[in-house]
Structure 1
Amino acid sequence: MLKVQEIRELIKLVDQSAIDEFTYESDGTTVTMKKSGAESTAAPVVQEQRPVERPVETTEIREPEVKVEEKKETVHTEQTDQEEPPADFDYEIVSPMVGTMYSSPNPESDAYVNKGAKVEKDTIVCIVEAMKLFNEIEAEVSGEIVEVLVEDGELVEYGQPLFRVKTK
């Protein structure tokens, strides 16, 4: 049986895609999602299939539709006098894959780089773990790290900026 979070992710994927209908069957359970009309909604229908021992009269049952509404929340933060202005940078080191970013080779070690660290083209700045493979990410430029954009252990997307570098 799919977990609620997995069903929500499927709804988002179907909603964002050009697919009008999606059906998934596993272990006697069927999940069907359909978009209706011009609206972009996905309606999950979960049915458990059980063996029937005797004939049963069937009646048409209307399947419930679930409308997915996107809510955008804005978070306002107060700026204090202690905050630094946005860093001046020439280059962003981005994640080459989806995964989890680690700033050090193991939990007991220091971070590969911190703000203010000098880097060369072949300097390892972090590790991105994807599917149990640990991929070392190199700076690809020489310069100074002026901003660290991702926390240790945070999930990152393909192309997401990880560090900002002021080149030499």
Structure 2
Amino acid sequence: MPLSDDDVREILRIIDESDLDELRIETNGLRLYVRRGGAPPREEPEAGGDERRLIEAPKREEPPASGQEASDGRAAEGASGSDGALTIEAPMVGTFYRAEAPGARPYVEVGSRVEPDTVVCLIEVMKMMNSIRAGVSGRIAEVCVENGELVEYGQPLFRVEPDR
């Protein structure tokens, strides 16, 4: 039985909420290896070419006291705090896309109004597209990454001027 996208998400949620640092799952020719932080061990592919998926689980991090957490994305108060802007951070490692398809209009631009449930971008992980929601209300002040760029967990994606 192959792992579904929901199965992988559930595995990552369990790892994130547990004290586990590493998990290996082998089923019907699929090997899933999840490790919290650090570099994964080097393994040579076996003859027969079974598929391997490597997922780095997010490092534990306490959410900011004054920040808000989106359903898919994370919003945290800006580091400077003086301008009051919030940062929408990557909730996972993957490839950042501003639009649904090449040549399509971006989900948001600088100046776009967003609500907590507004999809602001996609992050592709293992050929699976994940919609990232703003998690805050306000206006996009800055797009922090380029389309097609690899993003890390917690990396700033957008700066948002919150509603007052």
Among all aligned residue pairs of Structure 1 and Structure 2, give the percentage whose two residues are the same amino acid: 50
C-alpha distance in 1 between matches for 2:44 and 2:149: 32
**Is 1:116 the equivalent of 2:111?**
yes
Q: Please list the CA deviations of residues 88-114 of structure 1 after superposition, one character each: whole Å capped at 9, or x if unmatched.
A: 442110111000000000012110001
Q: 1:116 to 1:134 in 2, by over 3 A?
A: same
Q: Tell me, in whole angstroms, the C-alpha distance in 2 between the residues paired with 1:26 and 1:112.
A: 38
1:13 correspondence with 2:39? yes
Q: CA deviation at 1:24?
A: 5.0
CA distance in structure 2 between the aligned counterparts of 1:105 and 1:133, rounded to whole angstroms: 13
Q: Which amino acid aligns with 1:133?
A: M
Alignment: residue pair count: 92
2 CA distance for matches of 1:120 and 1:105? 19
Moved over 2 A (4+): 22-28, 87-90
Q: Tell me if structure 2 keeps the 8 A contact 1:148–1:164.
A: yes
| Shift, 1:125, TM fit | 0.3
Contact in 2 for aligned 1:143/1:167 (Cα 8 Å): yes
**Given the alignment, which residue of 90, 108, 116 partners 2:85?**
90
Quick one: which of 90, 94, 99 aligns to 1:99? 94
Structure with greater Cα Rg: 1
CA distance in 1, matches of 2:45, 2:125: 26
- Return the letter of the residue paired with 2:85: D
Higher normalized strand content (fraction of residues): 2
Q: Does 1:166 align with 2:161?
A: yes
| 1:126 is the counterpart of 2:121 | yes
How far did residue 27 of structure 1 move? Answer: 6.1
Per the TM alignment, residue 13 of structure 1 is displaced from its structure 2 partner at its CA by 3.5
- Residues of 1 paired with 2:43 and 2:156: CA distance? 35
Q: Post-superposition shift, 1:142?
A: 0.4
